[in-house]
Amino acid sequence: MKAINEPVKSVKDLLPRGLINSGNLCFLNATLQALMSCSPFVQLLQELRTRDIPKAGYPTLTAFVGFVSDFDTPSGGSSKKKNISVLDIGRPFSPSMFEAVLKNFTPDVPNSISGRPRQEDAQEFLSFIMDQMHDELLKLQGESTSINGANTALVSLAEEDEWETVGPKNKSAVTRTQSFLPSALSDIFGGQLKSVVKAQGNKASATVQPFLLLHLDIYSEAVHTIEDALRLFSAPENLEGYRTSSTGNAGVVTAKKSVKIQTLSKILILHLMRFSYGSQGSTKLHKSVRFPLQLVLGRDLLVTPSAEGRKYELVATVTHHGRDPSKGHYTADARYFNDQWLHFDDASVTAIGTSKVLHDQAYVLFYKQV
């Protein structure tokens, strides 16, 4: 897979195209449009077009290669209308190449591209296709992504490595890291989280694990902005009834857990947890959460609080419209060349200003490292 890791000499921005929705496919359309605003991801797809990918066993890679092949590069012409740059827009088309991917995502649903009986969660679909693409890239490299036939997604089932690290003030912690095979996809979206648990009378225990997107709790009354949600994400929390190996089953001690980012990703995907599923059915949190065009991660969120790599700029959002999580409608806003923002509502593509992009009901945010 050396070809994937080599830089492409020139990757031009693609001519925007709407996606036809033949019935409950807006979750797919909005997700794809957001991903197409992530230039490193588009570059990866362009590189994959030069690879000889077998048709069998690689449904996600095959779908994305076919998808990006349907986009042309713009002629470079644009006109001004009401102070908004109106770009060339290609004709809408059906994302029919994702038929097999959708069947794998929801095997219980009989119809896919031709129309579906229900709406799906865009974030769940995004996580699914990223996991699948990661596995298929590893398989294309000749790496095994399963042990005894079990799909292991991001984390392998190999025994965890363990060592003792010495941190600030000479405090030591036993650290475990989950074995992880990197891919060209995780090189773009992947980062690492370090979770530290400190129990009374015991050495701190730390676990390092990979992530492709961060799930942010926005339910707390203290959360009004995406920065608030990130601070809550890394804030220490008390663990009730924590048992340590030294105290045995009978011993319960007080413990605190904190999570920080050890390795930052090139594209940071933030999932605002608006949906909850319980015995009373599914509910949606209609809460205002503001987010900026330029995001600087707080040093308290990072294991190593350096200034390098903390600045991000917004490139896309996915928004769910409606009261019911299992119904409603998904749209995407994405930044194209010349910093022009476009609103993607299935087949419709319109130019919009940043004031409309920065609404307070977003569901998934995509930030690119500056």
Q: Could you report the per-residue pLDDT of 13-26, keeping only the tens digit for each?
A: 789 999 999 989 99
Residue 109 — very low, low, confident or very high, per pLDDT cuts 50/70/90?
A: confident
* Type of residue at 261: I
Residue 244 — very low, low, confident or very high, per pLDDT cuts 50/70/90?
A: low
Residue 154 has pLDDT above 60, yes or no: no
**With a threshold of 0.75, does the pTM exceed it?**
yes
Is 125 in contact with 98 (CB distance < 8 Å)?
Answer: no
Q: What CA–CA distance (Å, rounded) separates 327 from 16? A: 27
Strands 172-177 and 161-166 turn out to be: antiparallel
The pLDDT mean for the chain works out to: 83
CATH superfamily of 17-73+91-143+158-369: Cysteine proteinases (3.90.70.10)
Residue 70 has pLDDT above 50, yes or no: yes
The pLDDT value given to residue 55: 86
Residue 152 has pLDDT above 50, yes or no: no
Give per-residue pLDDT as tens, 215-232: 999 999 999 999 999 999
Residue 127 has pLDDT above 70, yes or no: yes
Residue 60 has pLDDT above 50, yes or no: yes
Residue 352 — very low, low, confident or very high, per pLDDT cuts 50/70/90?
A: very high
Asked if 329 is an active-site residue, the reply is yes
Q: What is the percent of the chain where pLDDT is above 70? A: 79
321, 329, 343, 359: the catalytic one is: 329
The pLDDT value given to residue 111: 66
The pLDDT value given to residue 128: 97
The pLDDT value given to residue 58: 97
Q: What CA–CA distance (Å, rounded) separates 271 from 292? A: 15
Cα end-to-end distance, the chain, whole Å: 27
For the record, the structure tokens of 275 come out as 């949906």
The pLDDT value given to residue 370: 93
The string over 137-175, giving b where at least 16 C-beta atoms fall within 10 Å of a residue's C-beta and e elsewhere, is bbbbeeeebeeeeeebbbebeeeeeeeeeeeeeeeebeb
Strand partners, 366: 269, 316
26, 134, 271, 343: the catalytic one is: 26
